[in-house]
Amino acid sequence: MMTVVVRTKLLAVDANYITASASSAEAFKTATLLKTLSVNSLITGEIGVGKKSLAQYILPQASVIDAVNLDELLTTLQSVNEIIIINLENSPNINKILDLVSLRNIRVIATAKSSYYNEVVDKLFSIKFDIPPLSQRPEDIDQLINKFTSEASSLFCTNEKFNIENFEPDLSQNSNSLRRQVMIAYLLQDINESELMDILESYLVDKLGSNNDYKNFLHLYEVPIIKAGLQRFKSQLQLSDKLGLNRNTLRKKIADNQQYL
């Protein structure tokens, strides 16, 4: 069997494909072609790059089973002719799964992390996609921020404009972390003091209990005001004046909280 390795710059989120770059648009065409072909495909990439969404775009009616759930997966394979298997690298018995897939001639679209390699798996999948992380696709990031902002506006029932100034995208888990970050940032920009205090209360209620908790949690107040002050006033001298602290006291607080700054 001939193996074709296709390396693309595709991002899929909830079956809505971001095609801001030429490579993303081309990858969407490839995925569309795969919908008409009876071949097994393996989609690799980091968490949050859209592997599962892409698989569901190719096989929209197929069951989606996590490879770690071996019993559920083996049972499902007894009654289907196509399936989506996610997190293939986590399977406790990959050979048993692939033997059943081959025996019953089941069409499979699977996902795995980029570094995953298995000789048996490599022979089963004739087409492979490796989806690069968002850090390599800046055009898609801008489009995703707009998409997630729209989701936040609908979720929170407001038309508040998202403040993009000083927004640094969290791409640690690609679209997963970016969506969460946009949602939180969108909510926080319209939050009032009472709601903010409720959030802190909810956070602290189960964490208090030692004999030095006031000092232990003081950074929750000091760090935000120092970071916001330095961002707004640009210098420690101006910030110490605005906070009513002498410069040595401010320097000490900055040093004490260095791990958070």
Q: How many residues does the chain have?
A: 261
- 49-96: pLDDT as tens digits: 888 988 999 999 999 999 999 999 999 999 999 999 999 999 999 999
pTM of the model: 0.76
Per-residue pLDDT band at 4 (split at 50, 70, 90): very low
Look at residue 219 and tell me whether its pLDDT is greater than 50: yes
CATH class, 4-132 region: alpha beta
Percent above pLDDT 90 for the chain: 58
pLDDT in tens, 142-175: 999 999 999 999 998 888 888 887 789 999 999 9
User: How much is the pLDDT for 157?
Assistant: 86
Q: Where are the domains of the chain?
A: 4-132, 134-190, 208-261
